[in-house]
Structure 1
Amino acid sequence: MDLRKINDRISVAPQIQIADLPAIAGLGFKTLVANRPDGEEPGQPLMADIEKAASEHGLKWVYMPVASGDISDDDVERFGEMIHTADAPVLAFCRSGTRCTVLWALSSAGETPAKEIFEKARSAGYDISGIAPRLAQQAQKKR
């Protein structure tokens, strides 16, 4: 299991396994967010199975699938609203953690300085510099 803290509210991870749920709950996470659609890759666990195990370990479940490389403004808005209202700390996962990080970054634009967003992502091991133009665009929308 490879958990990467973005800030006190959210951490991200590559694909988790059902066997990881006791440790995730034991670390104090309250909400588990799946940003990965079922069937994205052969052998990937079914989200319904992860949801069941998450519930058994007292974790709130949010299924918010987003196609890799196709994050819409609607996805960003829904993710931002969810992060602000979810019981924290939140663990969001996808195939590599990048999609979750990009969703967090874009939803944070305008509230958090871009430099800080890029630094937090980089500290978690994600280079999201390629979204700089879209991040600036998102920040403009919030002004």
Structure 2
Amino acid sequence: MDIRQIDDHLAVSPQVSVEDVAEAAKLGFKTLVANRPDHEEHGQPAMADLEAAAKAHGLEWVYMPVASGHITDDDVDQFAPMIRDAEKPVLAFCRSGTRCTVLWALSAARTDPADEVVSKARKAGYDISGLVPRMAQQARNNS
């Protein structure tokens, strides 16, 4: 599992397997967030199987599917309070981890300076510098 720490409370990962869920629980994660739609790609684990594994290992399960490359403000509106209120630490996954990082970045930009958000994502291996204009829009919408 390729877990990348975004901030003190959130890490992201590419697609997790049912077996990875047990490892996530051993690592101390409390909430598992799926930002990938079920059946997005042939061969990915079924979300029902991942949910069952999460619950079996004492993890909270959040299924919040988002279409790759089409993150809407409504998606950010749902993600922001979910991350704020989730039992931490949180592990969010999608196909590559990018979608989760973008959701986090757009929600974090509502309260944190864009350069800090970009820096945290970069340290985790994600270049989101192209999101700066949209992060500015999120910050304006939140003020």
- Both proteins in one fold, TM over 0.5: yes
Residue type at the aligned position of 2:20: D
Give % identity: 65
Give the aligned partner of residue 44 of structure 1: 44
Give the aligned partner of residue 9 of structure 1: 9
Q: What is the 5 A alignment of 1:1-143?
A: 1-143=1-143
Per-residue Cα deviation, 1:107-136 (whole angstroms, up to 9, x for no partner): 011311111100000000000111111111
SS at match of 1:102: helix
User: Equivalents in 1 of 2:70, 2:110: separation in Å?
Assistant: 21
Which segments of 5 or more consecutive residues in structure 2 lack a partner in the other structure? Answer: none
**Which consecutive segments of 4 or more residues in structure 1 shift more than 3 A?**
none
Residue type at the aligned position of 1:3: I
SS at match of 2:111: coil
SS at match of 2:67: coil
Residue type at the aligned position of 1:50: L
**Normalized against structure 1, the TM-score is what?**
0.98
Per-residue Cα deviation, 1:2-55 (whole angstroms, up to 9, x for no partner): 000001110000000011111100111000000000111110000000000010
**Normalized against structure 2, the TM-score is what?**
0.98
